[in-house]
Amino acid sequence: MNKFTIILCLCLMSLSGAAVESAVLETVPTIKSLGLCISSVEPIEIRLVRARATNTLLGIYHHLNRAGTFRRPLLSGGYEPPVIPGGHWDVVSFAVRSGAVNLFLVPKIDCAIVDALNDIRTAPEGTIRIECYTASVIAKIALGDCFLAPDRKNYRNSSQCFRDNAVSADKLDTARLDVLRELFFERPEKSVGRLIETGDFVYLFGHPNYKNIGHGPYDGENVYMVGYGVDNLQRYFGFGEIFKTGPKTAEQIQWNLAVMYVEELVKCTASLDEIFEIEMAYEEIKAIKSVHWCFDIDQVMAAESKKSSK
């Protein structure tokens, strides 16, 4: 074992312990426990940042999946509001392009981010009700708590932030969500032509006809790439039943999306040849190009540099 390998192993062992806080260490997956590896083509400093980011993502998604379930549909239409117990999260509304209003969770203004995240780490099973998009925003907040200096990460969640930016009261919810979900990620247009790296956010599309036949949460998956398995295939982590046992390959996630699509079809037409339809749906999903945001390594390195210079 060479010097570089020893240093990397020691760093990963120390990082795996720092990410869990009040949780039982053995129950939280880490790079080491899952046998994942980080891309070896980047400098050691960047690999360590990606490793730290990955352990943060593995930890927060583990707890979201352990304690969480999808928001339940209401008889009147739509879904119940999202819930994280503990008193540190607000429900905010956010208008989408179609004109519909979606509900999300963000930490309450001026509360400590770590307190909000600890609500998730200590939540009893079944008490968190969200969906995969809200989970992806929470994951960004966890990354912000991991990498940003205390004054900076608190500023992003404080009333001072919105006073400085003169946000009107009717747009406050949108501004709060925007400022939090932009932590450390480039916009999709800046990801065009760039390889998906460990730590990157990825949206995997489901069947394009899913929304026409069903109203469930499986029109796509919001996930993060968290490393490479021993088979050298990328592993992704997100929120939902399929992830309760840990990260999955893109093929496993896309096949699951195909199954969910066919299950919606079967509700309408029970005579379908399910296996044949799943294979067809999977082939259609595979042909859709994923959308991804690059993990902003430059911003992370700058934040780490400021910490080390103090």
**pLDDT interval class at 95 (50, 70, 90):** confident
Q: Which one is predicted more confidently, 203 or 6?
A: 203
What confidence tens digit (pLDDT) does each residue in 267-309 have?
A: 877 666 777 889 999 999 999 999 999 999 998 998 777 666 6
Mapping DSSP onto H, E and C, the string for 126-153 reads CCEEECHHHHHHHHHHHHHHHHCCHHHH
Percent of the chain at pLDDT above 70?
88
Percent of the chain at pLDDT above 90?
62
The rounded distance, in Å, linking the Cα atoms of 141 and 130 is: 15
Q: Which one is predicted more confidently, 63 or 23?
A: 63
Residue 15's pLDDT is 47
Q: Which one is predicted more confidently, 235 or 39?
A: 235
Residue 98's pLDDT is 63
Range from 20-24, 91-95, 195-199 carrying the lowest mean pLDDT = 20-24
Of 292, 285, 275, nearest to 206 by C-alpha is: 285
- Domains of the chain, by residue range, sit at 72-188+300-309
**pLDDT interval class at 3 (50, 70, 90):** very low
pLDDT over 90 at 22, yes or no: no
Question: Alpha helix locations (H) across the chain?
Answer: 3-18, 31-34, 44-67, 113-121, 132-147, 150-155, 159-164, 172-181, 210-213, 250-268, 274-286, 297-309
What confidence tens digit (pLDDT) does each residue in 30-79 have?
A: 999 999 999 888 999 999 999 999 999 999 999 999 999 999 878 777 78
Residue 115's pLDDT is 96
Beta carbons within 8 Å of 134's beta carbon, 6+ residues apart? 82, 104, 105
pLDDT over 90 at 25, yes or no: no
pLDDT over 60 at 19, yes or no: no
pTM score, whole prediction: 0.88
**pLDDT interval class at 24 (50, 70, 90):** very low
What confidence tens digit (pLDDT) does each residue in 102-151 have?
A: 888 999 999 999 999 999 999 999 999 999 999 999 999 999 999 998 88
Query: What number is the average pLDDT over the span 73-99?
Result: 84
Residue 268's pLDDT is 77
pLDDT over 70 at 184, yes or no: yes
